[in-house]
Amino acid sequence: MIYNEIYPQGFDLAHSIKIGNSRITKTLGLLITNTCNATCDLCCKFSSPKDKGRIPIEESEKVIHEAKEYGFTQIGFSGGEVMLHYKELLELGKILNNYEMTFTIATNGYWAKDVEIAKKKLNELKSLGLVVILASFDESHSEFIKAETFRNLLIASKECNVEVELHSAYYKNGKKLKDYFTEDFLKDYKVYESPVIRAGRALTRPIEDFEYPDEKLPVGTCPTPLQPTINYDGKVYPCCSVAGFTKNIEIGNIKNDSLFDIMGNIKNDQFLYYIQKFGFSKLLPKIADDLNFELPAFVSVCDACYFVGKNPKVASRIRKEIDLFLQSYLLEFIDNLIEKNKIECNSH
């Protein structure tokens, strides 16, 4: 099935918890490496074979322990390319298995040289608790991973009964999945195909290369429950979107803060609360007016979030406006509550 959405809605709401005002997945993202066999031109993390950024395995073990204590039930391993560290994945899988936690991996599938090799590895990981593969393929990835190799991964996953979420991004007038695989072949997988977001390496592409929706400002709110995600350098972000790795929404650092403190930071972050409830379409035009700049077109809500996060002046201004707005929103809420109570008291 192909979901032509701007941002995948692949999160299962039942697999999330409400903390304060935010809905948060029970999956904790752990980006154990920033090394990758590829250097895709849309990579939000600037991953490459030369990048040696890593979370040491002892640190991952500590995080998994805290995650278990906090109530997370699943770890989402991502990178970089996690399968470059296959032995470490097996070690971490064993720890998760002991804790009765499951895990997912994000991969570009480079290692699926043939179906049998892929099945052997998938079965090994599955026996430790692998439940979903988040597999990425598109025109940018195809420069480094052959469509045939990626197809092996999809076939092997199906034969091993491991669920696949296929994530794919396209430039305007660029190739789409249908240019590599038939619809009939893809029908057995959950496919999320969406325009490339202008983040990371994609910022080097000319603005005309991106596909924009009709509205200049993306309508809608932050599109998913939040998924706290620990980057390879220890910094923690509230989501695993390609647009989510900005200073504005950094919510802690696992090297200095406990996971409990970090979860408290998410809960108390008014910016996150606001964009989950209201999105950007009301405040951004006002701030552009106040600061006297012209708003660019945005690919999606996440693209707008990235724009804010990458512009400290805009981020600081929007946070001030949100504080003011939420104060009056709260006062109005309390007034309404008092009024409602009065009416109920009078009617008794």
Interface with ligand SF4 by CB under 6 A: which residues?
Answer: 36, 38-40, 43, 45, 47, 79-81, 108, 136, 141, 222-224, 238-239, 241, 243-244, 249, 275, 301-302, 305
Burial annotation 305-321 (CB, 10 A radius, 16+ → b, else e): bbbbbbbeebbebbeeb
Nearest 10 degrees: Cα torsion 170, 174, 177, 181 = -160
Nearer to ligand SF4 (CB atom), residue 93 or residue 309: 309
The phi, psi pair for 275, rounded to 5°, reads -70, -25
Q: Which is nearer to ligand SF4, 38 or 132 (CB)?
A: 38
Closest CA to 201 of 143, 155, 259: 143
Nearer to ligand SF4, 92 or 303 (CB): 303
Residue 33 amino acid letter: T
Instruction: Using the minimum distance from each CB to ligand SF4, give the nearer residue, 23 or 126.
Output: 23
Per DSSP, helices labelled H in 170-311 are: 183-186, 259-268, 270-277, 283-291, 301-310
Tell me the closest approach of the beta carbon of residue 323 to ligand SF4, in angstroms: 18
The smaller minimum CB distance to ligand SF4, of residues 101 and 109, is found at: 109
The long-range contacts involving 178-185, CB below 8 angstroms and separated by at least 24 positions, are 179/139, 180/137, 180/142, 180/147, 180/150, 181/147, 181/151, 183/2, 185/151, 185/154
Pairing of strands 16-19, 22-25: antiparallel
Query: Cβ–Cβ contacts within 10 Å for residue 266, how many?
Result: 23
Minimum CB distance to ligand SF4, residue 270 (Å): 13
Chain position carrying tokens 């910094």? 235
Tell me which amino acid residue 77 is.
F
E strand residue ranges, the chain: 2-3, 16-19, 22-25, 27-31, 74-78, 102-107, 130-136, 163-170, 190-195, 229-230, 235-237, 252-253
Asked if residue 308 lies in contact with residue 228, where contact means CB atoms within 8 angstroms, the answer is no
Distance of closest approach, residue 347 Cβ to ligand SF4, in angstroms: 42
**Minimal CA–CA distance to 220: which of 170, 282, 307?**
282
Q: Identify which of residues 168 and 241 has a Cβ nearer to ligand SF4 in the complex.
A: 241
Nearest CB to ligand SF4, comparing residues 38 and 112? 38
Which CB atom, from 89 or from 222, has the smaller least distance to ligand SF4?
222
* Shortest CB 95 distance to ligand SF4, Å: 24
